[in-house]
């Protein structure tokens, strides 16, 4: 198991658990030989799902847990009380270094709380941000923070920028990633109090490729690689991306059904259109990592299907092999100690 990346997958979390979760885990195992997967959850259910597939059995282990944390439960209470749940057990395995990463499509609240309370922050990291990749015109950008820390302070945003740069450079292979600060105008004097205080701090960071303020309008164009914002704003961006996309696509489909002429046209454009829109679908890019922890926690969408689960697991491999946490410790913490 020397070069194996060990990923715990929460088999009970999400709208499509356990079926799609188990399927995604199997697909990941079959895609790479350097993954070992632990599935946490109810053993009989997981075994029934696994029996449908062929896969290298020596690289999978079921860790039975009796409890399940529901999406509607108050997260702090759930993490504290349900010790024998698929989430708490999985996170404890990361904490104990029995695994490198934990993937779940379950309760966002429980995952955020558990990440901080159980897995714990890297020393010196003030607030671990949640950072999904979002599709842009010709690629992807990292949105950091998209929901972990509302009412953040300027120093938090500076850490987000540094963590995000390391991630994009090492996991996504973007050389010298462009960092933008979400703002309501391009000029330095624009913005709210948080942004105005953060701007000069980011400008001072010589190790960052800070390109200044970015307006929400330009985000889908791929104007920067690391999109820095406070969690409330980030969450609005992520969800509006989904919402506008879904509504527009349904409008386009509806428009194509208005006449016989357009219906025939629709049949002809359908395959090409499907391919194009796929590239603008966030699920292609795996889940949102909660960064800055002693290990890795990845939150995938509640409605995740096997492909997203698989991609999230593969993301954990890249993250672990690239020693991202080591780089965060070296570049961010040392930098801060100098200052």
Size of the site for its own copies (CB under 8 A): 63
Q: Which stretch binds its own copies (CB under 8 A): 87-95, 153-161, 259-267, 315-323?
A: 259-267
What are the angstrom distances between the C-alpha of 153 and each of 158, 166, 198? 9, 21, 8
Q: What are phi and psi of 61, to 5 degrees?
A: -140, 140
Do residues 162 and 179 lie in contact, with contact meaning Cβ atoms separated by under 8 Å?
Answer: no
Give the separation between CA 232 and CA 145, rounded to whole angstroms.
8
Which one among 175, 267, 338, 339 touches its own copies, defined by CB under 8 A?
267
Do residues 105 and 111 lie in contact, with contact meaning Cβ atoms separated by under 8 Å?
Answer: no
Of 137 and 334, CB closest to its own copies: 137
Q: How near is the Cβ of 205 to its own copies at its closest, in Å?
A: 23
Write out the binding residues for its own copies, residues 136-165 only, by CB under 8 A.
136-137, 147, 150-151
Q: Which stretch binds its own copies (CB under 8 A): 84-92, 228-236, 294-302, 308-316?
A: 228-236
Of 335, 109, 104, nearest to 235 by C-alpha is 109
77 binds its own copies (CB under 8 A): no
Which one among 175, 206, 261, 338 touches its own copies, defined by CB under 8 A?
261
Q: Which stretch binds its own copies (CB under 8 A): 36-44, 164-172, 237-245, 304-312?
A: 237-245
Write out the binding residues for its own copies, residues 101-140 only, by CB under 8 A.
136-137
**Per-residue x/- mask for its own copies, residues 275 to 314, rule CB under 8 A?**
xxx-xx----------------------------------
250 binds its own copies (CB under 8 A): yes
31 binds its own copies (CB under 8 A): no
Q: What are phi and psi of 176, to 5 degrees?
A: 50, 60
Do residues 148 and 232 lie in contact, with contact meaning Cβ atoms separated by under 8 Å?
Answer: no
Do residues 141 and 133 lie in contact, with contact meaning Cβ atoms separated by under 8 Å?
Answer: yes
What order of strands is seen across the sheet that includes strand 35-41?
Answer: 60-64, 35-41, 5-10, 101-104, 296-299, 288-290
Give the separation between CA 234 and CA 237, rounded to whole angstroms.
5
Residues that bind its own copies (CB under 8 A): 74, 136-137, 147, 150-151, 182, 184, 189, 191-193, 195, 215-221, 231-233, 235-252, 254-256, 258-259, 261-262, 264-273, 275-277, 279-280
């Amino acid at each position: 198991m020397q070069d194996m990346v060990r990923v715990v997958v929460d088999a009970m979390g999400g709208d499509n658990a356990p079926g799609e979760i188990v399927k995604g885990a199997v697909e990941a195992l079959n895609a790479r030989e350097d993954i070992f997967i632990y599935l946490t959850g109810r053993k009989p259910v997981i075994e029934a799902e696994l029996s449908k597939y062929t896969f290298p059995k020596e690289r999978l282990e079921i860790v039975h847990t009796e409890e399940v944390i529901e999406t509607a439960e108050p997260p702090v209470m759930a993490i504290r009380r349900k010790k024998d749940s698929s989430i708490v057990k999985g996170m404890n395995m990361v904490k104990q270094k029995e695994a490198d990463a934990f993937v779940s499509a379950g309760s966002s609240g429980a995952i955020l709380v558990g990440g901080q309370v159980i897995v714990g922050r890297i020393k010196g990291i003030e607030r671990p941000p949640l950072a999904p990749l979002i599709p842009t015109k010709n690629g992807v950008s990292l949105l950091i923070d998209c929901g972990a820390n509302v009412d953040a302070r300027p120093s938090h945003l500076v850490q987000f920028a540094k963590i995000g740069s390391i991630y994009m450079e090492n996991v996504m292979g973007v050389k010298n990633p462009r960092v933008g600060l979400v703002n309501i105008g391009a000029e330095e004097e624009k913005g709210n109090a948080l942004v105005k205080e953060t701007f000069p701090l980011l400008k001072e960071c010589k190790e960052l490729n800070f390109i200044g303020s970015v307006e929400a309008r330009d985000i889908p164009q791929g104007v920067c690689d690391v999109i820095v914002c406070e969690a409330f704003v980030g969450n609005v961006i992520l969800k509006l991306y989904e919402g506008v996309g879904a509504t527009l696509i349904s409008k386009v489909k509806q428009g194509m059904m208005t006449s016989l002429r357009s219906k025939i046209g629709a049949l002809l454009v359908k395959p090409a259109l499907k391919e194009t829109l796929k590239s603008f679908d966030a699920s292609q890019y795996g889940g949102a990592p909660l960064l800055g922890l002693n290990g890795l926690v990845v939150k995938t969408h509640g409605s995740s299907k096997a492909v997203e689960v698989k991609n999230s697991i593969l993301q954990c491999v890249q993250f672990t092999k690239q020693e991202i946490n080591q780089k965060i410790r070296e570049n961010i913490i040392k930098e801060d100690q100098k200052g």
